[in-house]
Amino acid sequence: DVMMPGMDGFEVCRRLKSNPKTQALPVIMVTALDQPSDRVMGLEAGADDFLTKPVNDIALMARLRSLIRVKTMIDELRMREETEFELGIGGPGGRIDDSLPAEILLVEDSKTAARQILATLGKRHHIRVEPDAVRALETARQGAFDLFVISATSDHFDGLRLCSQLRSGLETRNLPVLVIVEEGDTKRLARALDLGANDYLSRPVDQLELSARIQTQLKRKRYADQLRERLHVSVELSITDELTGLFNRRFLSSHLNGLLRRALGEQRPLSLVFIDIDFFKQVNDRHGHAAGDVVLREIALRIGRGIRGVDLACRYGGEEFIVVMPGTDLLAATHVSERMRRQIEESSIAFGDRAISVTASFGVTQAKAGDSPDSLIERADQALYRAKRAGRNRVDAEPV
C-alpha cells in the first residue's frame, strides 16, 4: 500500500529494488490515488504495476499470474547462473545500460494514436509502426526487436491473437509485450495478461506513464538477456577448451556415445582419429610455454580447417587431439589424416621472430559392432602408438 505510517509504499519499493537480494521480486502498489502522476511515481520507484482502489479482483489475479510467470523464468536463469558460479564457471555480470535506445514494434492502425506514441518514444527509441497484424507478425519474426506495443482495441485486427502468436513463436517468445486497452475493459485486460502480455496501458494513454512502463519492461528484458548471455558463455566454457577453442574431453565423453550408437544402429561408418604432436615437450623446453600454447592453437586451427563441419574435433588433453568422423570409413579417414599430417609438417609456426617446426602422429580406427566409446578410443590409441614406435610423423590405420 502507498499510504502507510512511518515509511510510504514508494520508499519500501525503492529499498526492495535497490537490494540485490530482493530486486527481482515483482511489486504491485495499491492506493486510492488515481492520478497518472502517482502511477508514474510508483513505476519510477520500481513497481511492476500500480492498481487503484477499489481493486478489481479479476485484474489483480491476472496481473499476479503474469508477474509470477515472468519471475519464474528469471528465477530459473538466476539459479542456473548461481550453480555455474559455484562450479567456478563464469562470474557476475556488469551493470545494465538503461540509456541504450530500444527497437520497438508498434502495432496500431490509428494514425492519431500512433503519432502520439511516436512523439513520446521516438526521441529516445527506434519505433517501427505496423497497422496490419499479419505483416506485424512477419516483421517481428524477422527483425531484432526489444519490445512490442500492441493495440487491443482495433476493429481491423485481433491484438490479443497477435499477442498469443508472439508469445508462442521461437523468435519472439522472450520479448516483452505491452498492450493498450480501453479504460475499464477488465475482461480484455485479463485475457491479454493470460495470453502472455507483460504490461498494459489504458486509453487515453498518459505519455509519462507510457515512458515509465516501457522503461520498466526494457530494464527487465535486458536483465534477462544478460542472464541468458552469461549462461550461454558458461555453457560454452564448460564444453570447449579455453586455449584452442575446440571441444573438450568432457564434451567428447558425453557426445561420442550418441554418435557411435547412431552410426551402428543405422549401419553407417564412423571413424575416430587420435592425434599427438611429436616431441611437444621439446617445444616447451626450447621456446617456453607461451610458444607451446601458440603451437597448440595453430595445430587446432589446422585440424579444424582439414575436416568437415559435421566432424567433431576435441582437445583430448595436453598435446593430444581426437577427431570423430561420422559417415566416414577407415580408408577415407586415413586419407584425411594424411592430408592433415602433411599440412602440419610442411608449414612452420611463427612465434615472434622464430619459426617452430613440428610434426604429428595419427592413429585411425573405424567403429565395429559392439564398440563402446572407450574401446573405440583405445584402438585408435594403439594405432597412434604404432605410428610413434615406427618413427613418428606418420599415419597408422587399424587393420580392417
Using 50, 70 and 90 to split pLDDT, how confident is the model at 69? confident
Quick one: cell of 122?
Answer: 521516438
User: What does the radius of gyration of the chain's CA atoms come to, in whole angstroms?
Assistant: 30
Residue from 158, 149, 49, 72 nearest 106 by CA: 149
pLDDT of residue 90: 52
> Model's pTM, two decimal places?
0.58
Residue from 256, 252, 272 nearest 364 by CA: 272
> What is the C-alpha to C-alpha distance for residues 173 and 171, in angstroms, rounded to an integer?
6
SS3 content of the chain, % helix, strand, coil (to 5): 50, 20, 30
pLDDT of residue 194: 87
| pLDDT, tens only, 120-132 | 998 899 999 999 9
Mean predicted lDDT score pLDDT of the chain:
88
Catalytic residues: 319
Any idea which of 38-47, 130-139, 228-237, 248-257 has the lowest mean pLDDT? 228-237
| pLDDT, tens only, 167-222 | 888 889 889 999 999 988 888 988 998 888 988 888 988 888 889 889 888 888 88
What are the residues facing 103 on neighbouring strands?
126
- Cell 615437450 belongs to which residue? 281
